[in-house]
Amino acid sequence: MNQKPFFKITEDDLSQFASPVFVTFGETMVRDTPADNERPERTRQVHLSMAGSEYTLAMGLSRLGMPAEYITRVPDNPYGRALRNIARENGVLTDHFVWAPKTEPIGRLIYEIGRTPRKNTGVYQRMYSAASKLDAGMVDWPSVLKNARLFHTSGITFGLANHSGYDRNFNYEAFKEAMSAKPNDCLVGMDFNYRPTLWSPDQARELMTPIVSEHIDIFITTIEDMARLYDIDCGQYSAKQVVDGDMGRLEDDDIQAFAQKVMELFDVRIVAITIRYPDTFEQHRWESAAIDSDGFFFRSPEVKPITLWDRLGGGDTWNAGFYYGLLTEDFSPAGLTKGVLVGDAATRIKQTLMFDLPLIDKAEVESLMKADAFGGGKRTSR
């Protein structure tokens, strides 16, 4: 079958949209990675980069040509300005940043990249960060969202209040304000993104369940998160087997049964699933799938290998490609198909790059998708 209509990315796709069509908010951290191959406790040379789920996603969409805006609260100091400047360099709108006093902390991630058999290790320093205190009344949401077709959030953002021990969840208050201001035709997407370092399963369920059930149209998750927090099976595999990593080959029926249970639990319009197979530190395999409330189901045509360089930002880059498909195909079955294919190609390229940010472009994504569909491997020039 000729798959070209599903992966052809053209400027005509974007002609119908006003700016910004995509809006998201959250926290961006400064990531500290040893630059001298030492361990973090021994290094004296640190590479500073930016890391954050929604930030990475907005950047990925922008680099694919989709008008995107990112909102956060940052200290008015060199790190805060660097965060803004990098977003702008990659086409992301930053007009509604909320600036905190320069002495407030910015979130940090101390990150050590592993090698087989040593695993990656990361230490969050996100308590009391400026972004964790982005509250209602700080953003002009009607102005930001007036032309938006899709608003995105992440479970990570809502976990920051528990992580900091606040009496109230500032980011949740900002989210509710955004929900009251968004246009009726603006859908809401979420990556569940459970982080046990931010909050317990009970804490996450208590807040996330009503948020997803009441507000979310497009729900992105992993099989492991839903098994761990909601005891959801994956077809022939029990939730315990999923959590223990005791799964064999996943059949279409397994993934569809899992997705249907998630859809029934939360009453969402679309469920998308990303699936990573970490064979070694350096060699992973990747696939994804999506299903809508009408029962249309699409899964990656193949499980594809990745020779890994840095996995951080991989899921967020997939989200960007998936949303690109949905937005350019009006959230239709063709959009699910296109989104899975674009997302798979985008994340496979990104995970061969160092650090979180998806420095990808449409031409290389399209080239990889053509190679996947029709075969390839010849040298090309760009």
Distance CA 345, CA 363 (A): 11
pTM: 0.93
Structure tokens at 76: 């008015």
User: Please, what is the end-to-end C-alpha distance for the chain in angstroms?
Assistant: 28
Q: Residue count of the chain, please give it.
A: 382
Distance CA 373, CA 367 (A): 10
Helix or strand (DSSP H, E) at 25: strand 22-25
CB 325 within 8 A of CB 343: yes
Q: State which amino acid sits at residue 22.
A: F
* Per-residue pLDDT at 376: 59
* Per-residue pLDDT at 281: 86
Q: Which residues are CB-contacts of 196 (< 8 A; sequence separation ≥ 6)?
A: none
Q: Which domains does the chain have, with CATH numbers?
A: 16-25+53-100+133-373 (3.40.1190.20)
Structure tokens at 98: 């909320």
CB 172 within 8 A of CB 161: yes
Q: How far is CA 325 from CA 217, 263, 334, in A?
A: 15, 20, 8
Among residues 31, 32, 30, 84, which one has the least CA distance to residue 58? 84
* Per-residue pLDDT at 17: 57
* Per-residue pLDDT at 382: 42
Beta bridge partners of 75: 100
Beta bridge partners of 298: 290
* Per-residue pLDDT at 373: 86
Residue spans of the chain under pLDDT 70? 1-18, 376-382
* Per-residue pLDDT at 15: 54
CB 318 within 8 A of CB 275: no
Beta bridge partners of 189: 152, 218
Kindly tell me the number of DSSP H helices and DSSP E strands found in the chain. 13, 15
Sign of the torsion formed by the C-alpha atoms of 118, 34, 103 and 357 = negative
* Per-residue pLDDT at 375: 73
* Tens of pLDDT, residues 146-167: 999 999 999 999 999 999 999 9
Alpha helices in 51-138 (DSSP H): 53-63, 78-89
How far is C-alpha 359 from the chain's CA centre? 15
* Per-residue pLDDT at 6: 43
How far is C-alpha 2 from the chain's CA centre? 29
